[in-house]
Amino acid sequence: MNIMDNLFNVLKSDDFNTLPHLMKGLNTLFEAVEANQSGPLKADLLDPQFLSELESVPENVDISFGKSLTDIKCLIRDENLRVHEVYLKYDGIKRIRIISVNIPFAPFLEYIYSTVEEVIVAYLKHVITLQSYFYELENIDNNCVVVEPIKPTFKDDYRNIRIDDKTWLHVEITPDGYPTNIHLIGQSETWQDKLQAGVLNWDHDKNIVENVMSIFDFDKSMLLSKGNTNKLDHEDTQMDDGILCGICFCSELPNSPGVPQPLCQNSNCNVYFHQNCLFQWLVACEGGRPPAFGVINGSCPTCLQPISCSKKDCVI
């Protein structure tokens, strides 16, 4: 077996998926190579600086490997002790790129980095700017019933908050931690009137949850009770509610995130729909012609009352 085959076996073997075991395996291989060759060959086979750097990462960073040395997982703890998963790909000497993170997109995520340390510094520098964003999302997740995303992370910059069985509040959060694109999903003239008045009088000295409490006249015990239900029994609650799409008769679709929503404005219609299913249904009813401005209008598949759906809310 030649040198490259031996190196390939070391990098691909599950026996070397931790840094100490990997370093031991590589050192054994290099010693065998140097004993049979004239001069060291480490630099020709692998970047020794890269390996040395992995041994000296800061204490707030844990390193592990995937199926090979080229797939790297970093657990980075920020100053507030939040743990961030950052997945890297080693493409060669001084060529490291970020392939997956749990934060919204930012330009630095597409850069090519020379060292892992550069990645860590850039990531933590960006995370500092997202502290208000993290706070608002965590506050919503801990104190409200979040029906979407199903498994919320910091990468999801929105929350659909359950107001009642037929109404959800959609809130998007900017990287600065400010709410945007606030609207109701479902049917309730009472809630809609409260929301319109509340948005006009939004108190920027209060956080999002406090403003939601004020707008809908929720007291803290109600909101905390809803939050505890969401945190502990979210999946059971969804199953008990029996939320199925009125078109595909499923709760979840394999290639489409999200759960069925109360999209029909008819207060007597209790049928939920996936955004994707409703959009495609309405387009098909119009002969397959795509809508001019991304919004399709038609009749509810169940009650035949007017209904609309926006393409931007769908993942087709």
Tens place of pLDDT per residue across the chain (316 aa): 555 666 666 666 666 666 666 666 666 666 665 555 544 434 444 577 888 888 888 889 999 888 877 899 999 999 999 999 999 999 988 999 999 999 999 999 999 999 999 999 999 999 999 999 999 999 999 999 898 888 899 999 999 998 887 888 999 999 999 999 999 887 777 888 999 999 999 999 999 999 999 999 887 555 555 443 444 344 444 444 568 899 998 888 877 777 888 888 887 888 888 888 999 999 998 888 778 777 888 999 999 988 888 877 665 4
* Burial class of residue 77 in the structure, from the number of CB atoms within 10 Å of its CB (0-12 exposed, 13-18 middle, 19+ buried): middle
Ramachandran category for residue 35: left, alpha or beta (phi over 0 → left; psi -120 to 50 → alpha):
alpha
Query: Cα(26)–Cα(34) distance, rounded to whole angstroms?
Result: 12
Residue pair 111/164 in contact (Cβ under 8 Å)? The answer is no
Instruction: Give the count of beta carbons closer than 10 Å to the beta carbon of residue 308.
Output: 14
- CB under 8 Å to 228, separation ≥6 — which residues? none
Radius of gyration of the chain (CA): 26
Which residues are within 8 A (CB) of 38 and not within 5 positions of it... i.e. 6 or more apart? Answer: none
Q: What is the pLDDT of residue 223?
A: 55
97 vs 218: CA distance, rounded Å: 46
Query: What tokens were used for 105?
Result: 């997109």
pLDDT at 51: 80
CATH number assigned to the domain covering 242-316:
3.30.40.10
Interatomic CA distance for residues 309 and 17, integer angstroms = 48
**pLDDT number for residue 238:** 42
The angle that helices 48-55 and 116-128 make with each other, rounded to 10 degrees, is 50
Instruction: With H, G, I as helix, E, B as strand and everything else as coil, classify residue 15.
Output: helix
* DSSP 8-state secondary structure symbol assigned to residue 290: P
pTM of the model: 0.69
Amino acid occupying residue 142: N
Extents of the domains making up the chain? 143-240, 242-316
Q: Which residue has the tokens 């060669």?
A: 92
CA angle, residues 5, 8, 9, in degrees to nearest 5: 90
Q: What fold is seen in the domain 143-240?
A: Ubiquitin Conjugating Enzyme (3.10.110)
